[in-house]
Structure formats: structure tokens, C-alpha cells
Amino acid sequence: MNHQEIYVSLDIGSSSIKVLIGEMGDDQLHVIGVGHVKSTGIRKGAIVDIDATVQSIKKAVEQAERMTGIKIEEVVLGVPANQTFLQPVKGVVAVNGEDREITDDDLARVIDSAQVMSIPPERELVNLIPKQFIVDNLDEIKDPRGMIGIRLEMDATMITTSKTLVHNVLRCVERAGLQIREIYLQPLAAGQFALTEDEKNQGTAYIDLGGGSTTVAVFQDGLLTHTAVIPVGGDHITKDLSIVLKTPTEQAEKIKKQYGHAFYDDASDEQLFEVPVVGTDSTDQYSQRYIAEIIGVRLEELFELVLDELARMGIQDLPGGIVISGGVAQLEGLAQLARQVMLSRVRIYTPDYIGVREPAFTTSVGLIHYANADDDFYGRSEPSTVASYAPYPAQQAPSKKQANAPERVDSGNKVSVIDRAKNLLNKFFD
């Protein structure tokens, strides 16, 4: 890629909403704007108050706009993995054209054919992830275009989620005055970015420790194979501290971030701090080791729940280990505790970009990288140098949009993901 492409990602989480403006060039990301605000109206990854969520999105967008002077009109949206279902699907088509050379049109048709299976009315297609293409029984092909053949097949994974969940997210984005460039499952984008190729191939669990919930995603043979959401996160640690220390929730959050330690054995008895007592003018003194015990108990419970989910998935071995990210992953000593409880190799992932060197931004960065990789493979709109985008034009390139948008479209009539999102909303709310 020789030109510069600007992407804006929107990560809507239970504890915070993040907007990231990034410029991609030669597969390198340069972060140029960040919006990060406390979210309201979201509980355990699901929207419970649309108006409050809309206001939080607007605040995050305004922060990023003020930093860059760029007007944000279109975003790459991440949707949570709540109630997500992954299902293998297969597409088969005959190759068109007298010379039997596989073209973009053939690729678009085989992707479309993989989506003909019936989806329950309460569920919505989020992403369709190709596993391999097969040309006349020759398998393990990553890109069949340009090859000669008679029969083109595709093995893929269809990702569906709750229609109510995704429509509520879309409605919030629409009311915030934004259009949607692409939609991706959050752990899909984050895991593809945070894990190495070896980790994705060997079998690795990617764990996103968020505020209101924890997402578990397993990658095997290079693909996302399992997801689960546990309704426990960093907010529960804050609540524990608030109750035990008898201090306001806001103060408990500050204490967690400033003095928190996850591994009791390594915490300090000498690091002391004053904690205001709720309802009084007095303070109590505590040590880092004291609160490490509180934090550690909750995290041990969480890691045990992760192990339970992995067992439910049928995962008995993770040769690639466990990779942890998300806001809670900033806690000192967390990796040591995770290794002790889960008896596995554990590493913490933190994005290495100026302005977002925190585990909390992994999904935001991953959404941009995933969208850029998709554009490289399926074709992109005309190069843009600002974050004000026009809808995707009709094109002959295979439509990843039909695979990644919330609603399937006919391969012979390509429309933008924005239009499809609007149509989807109109159908739902009519």
C-alpha cells in the first residue's frame, strides 16, 4: 500500500468508550487522535440506556476531533462477543468465464453462497471469516484469484450474535451522528492483532479483562474458534475495594490504579497510603499488600471462571499459552497470579504506539489493523486522507462488506456497509 489511509475505530465498552484515529501506510499505524471517556448506559457489555450511551460516544468523538481537527463521520465499529455463536459454513460455485480464470466476481459469489443457510430470526450475521478456498479439490488456498479452475469452494466460519444487541449498538452509533465503515467482533479484531502467527496457529486463549465483563477467545489453526463472555471484570474489583475499605467508588478506582497489585507475595508492606472513609472526614491507612489480598481474591475467582469456560468449550490444552489484555491487565502482578491459577504460560499484551501504550487500547488498535487488512485483500474505497468518508462505491471486487456487515446483500448489487446498516435499522424499527 503506497498511499495513506485514515481509519477511525469505535470501541464501546462497559467502563469506557474509546475512539482512535489512525493513519495506515505501508502496513504501519500512526495514531493521530484519541478519545477516551467513561461510559454510561452499558452493563456487562450490553446497552441498557441508549441516550446515555449516545452521549458517551459523542464525548469520545469530540475528544478525538479536538486533538486532530478532523471531523469524524465514519467509524470501524467493534461489537462485543455477548451471545456470539460460531458456525462452520461452506460455499460452492462454478467458475464463470470462458477461460476459467477465477476473478473477483467468482470470489464474491462463493462468499455469498456460504451465507445462504438460514439464520434464526433472533440472530444477526456479524462476520464471515474464510478458512480456506478449494479449487477443483486443491485445498488450503488463501487467495484463488488468478488461478484456473472449474469449481470454487470456500470453507468459512460464520459469526452471529443477538439481533437485539447489535441493533441497539447500531442505533446508538446512528444517533451519535456517525456512519459505519465496517463492523467486526471485538475479540476477532483484537486477537488477530495481539497474537503472533505461531500463537494463533498452535492454540492460544486471548483474554480481554474489561470493566464490566471478561471476554475469552480461543484461536486455533490461525482462526477464531470459540468465544465466551464472563460477567466479571475490573468494576467488580473496584466495588470490592470500596466495600472493604469503606471508601467511595471513585476513590476505590483511583486506589486500584495507583496502588493496586494482583500478586500478594510481591506486594509491598511498606507502601502506605491514606484512604478517605465514606460519610466522614477521617481517613484510614492501608498498605499495598492489604489491598493486594482483596484484588487477588477477585482475580483468582475470575481466572477460575475462565478455566471453567475453556473446559466447557472442550479446550484441554493451549500450546500457545494465554495472552491477556484489556484495562485490568495494567495491574502489577497480574501475569504472575494468572500463571499460578491457570497453570499456563501467560503474557500481557500492550499496543506499542505513542498515545495508546495501555492494554485498554488493544481492541481499538486491532479494529484499525483488521479493517486495513480486509481492505488490502478485498479492495478499498478511493484513498482518503481525512476521516470524512464517502460511502463505498459499487465495485467489482469481492464484497467483504457482505461478509462483515450485519446484513447479507446480493453479490450482483454491491452497496456500502453504511447503506446496509441503515437498511437494517429501518427494517428493524419500522
DSSP code, position 221: T
Question: In Å, what is the CA distance from 45 to each residue of 13, 104, 240, 407?
Answer: 6, 37, 20, 22
What pLDDT, in 10s, does the model give residues 229-278?
A: 999 999 999 999 999 999 999 999 999 999 999 999 999 999 999 999 99
CA angle 42-348-60, nearest 5°? 35
Which of 37-41, 88-92, 213-217, 375-379 shows the lowest mean pLDDT across its residues? 375-379
**Contact between 156 and 128 (Cβ < 8 Å):** yes
Q: Is the pLDDT of residue 323 over 70?
A: yes
pLDDT of residue 426: 43
- Sheet (strand 16-25) strand order: 28-38, 16-25, 5-12, 74-79, 179-185
DSSP string, 101-138: B--HHHHHHHHHHTT-S---TTEEEEEEEEEEEEETTE
The pLDDT tens digits for 376-407 are: 988 754 433 333 322 222 233 344 544 444 33
What domains are there in the chain, each with its CATH number?
Answer: 196-348 (3.30.420.40)
Please compute Rg for the chain using Cα positions. Answer: 23
302 touches 332 (CB < 8 A): no
Asked whether 330 and 209 are in contact (CB, 8 A), the reply is no
Q: pTM for the full model?
A: 0.87
* Pairing status of strand 223-230 against strand 214-220: antiparallel
CB 339 within 8 Å of CB 377 = no
Q: What is the DSSP string of 379-392?
A: ---S--SSS--PPP
Q: H/E element holding 185?
A: strand 179-185
C-alpha cell at 325: 489484555
Q: Which residue has the cell 460460531?
A: 86
Cell of 26: 505501508
Residues 88-127 have pLDDT tens digits of: 999 999 999 889 999 999 999 999 999 988 899 999 999 9
CA distance 263 to 241: 15
